[in-house]
Each structure stands twice: as C-alpha cells, then as structure tokens.
C-alpha cells in the first residue's frame, strides 16, 4: 500500500472519496454486475471510531470507469449520491478488498462564492488553471 493511501486510511476526513467494492462491503447478490461504487465520507467521529458515508447512485464494472467519473468531477454533484447515510467503522478502511482506494480532494474551488469577484479575475489571469 502506498504511504499516502495508508495515511488517508488511518486519518479519514470529511469529503474523502472512497472507491469501494460494494458487493464485498454489503454482501448483496444484486451488486454482482456492477460491484464498484464511489462513496463520500460525510462525518467522522474519532471518539467512536466510526464514519458516515453516502454511496454513489451509479455502479461500475471496473475501477477505471469509476476513476474516470472522479476525474470529470461527477462526484461534486449532490445528485450523484444517495441521500441515505451508512455508518461504518473506521477500521473498514484498512481492508483493501472492501475499500480499494481513497482520494482526497484538495482545495476545492467554490465557484459560487467567487461569482462577481474582481479579485478572482485577476487571479485567473495569473493562474489560469485554478
């Protein structure tokens, strides 16, 4: 396991995106065709060592397809996830068969807050790939 992946698994944070094998996590036989899903951590309770996640509404046949949807930022839309939260133990993150990998979005750009902001236009000219 990579050092960064191991660190993410030991210290989960809100908004981390998990790539999971839902069939191994839930053992539901209906998930055989599309077993892979993305999940987003919504809460982490360090005292109880639990976390709450929401599952994606889409299932995938392969992790590469799930990764493609992550790259195009489909996970940023609230409609991409179910509304119901599932509570899991943080120790579940250490099982690489259930949680295949974790990605942590860094410094999300909130476009709604930057709308009509003059400083944003100046920053965009300096750093066009914000």
Strand partners, 18: 39, 102
Please, which residues have CB within 8 angstroms of residue 70's CB and are 6 or more apart in sequence?
17, 19, 38, 103
**38-50: average pLDDT:** 92
CA distance 99 to 37: 10
Using DSSP, state whether 121 is helix, strand or coil: helix
CA distance 34 to 28: 11
Between 75 and 18, the higher pLDDT residue: 18
Closest C-alpha among 15, 68, 53, 57 to residue 34: 57
pLDDT band at 82 (very low <50, low <70, confident <90, very high): confident
Average pLDDT of the chain, as a whole number: 80
Closest C-alpha among 69, 46, 72, 49 to residue 57: 69
Position 108 pLDDT exceeds 90: no
Closest C-alpha among 111, 110, 93 to residue 101: 93
Q: What is the pTM assigned to this prediction?
A: 0.72
What is the model's pLDDT at position 45?
92
Counting every residue, how long is the chain?
A: 130
What is the model's pLDDT at position 40?
92
**87-116: average pLDDT:** 77
What is the model's pLDDT at position 130?
46
CA distance 66 to 52: 20
């Amino acid at each position: 396991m990579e050092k960064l992946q191991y660190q993410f698994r030991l210290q989960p944070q809100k908004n981390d995106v998990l790539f999971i094998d839902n069939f191994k996590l839930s053992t539901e036989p209906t998930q055989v065709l599309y077993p892979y899903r993305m999940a987003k951590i919504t809460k982490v309770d360090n005292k109880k060592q639990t976390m709450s996640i929401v599952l994606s509404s889409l299932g995938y046949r392969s992790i590469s397809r799930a990764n493609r949807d992550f790259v195009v930022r489909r996970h940023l839309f609230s409609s991409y996830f179910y509304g119901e939260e599932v509570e899991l133990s943080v120790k579940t993150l250490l099982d690489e068969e259930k949680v295949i990998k974790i990605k942590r979005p860094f410094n999300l750009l909130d476009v709604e807050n930057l709308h009509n902001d003059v400083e944003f236009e100046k920053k965009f000219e300096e750093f066009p790939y914000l």
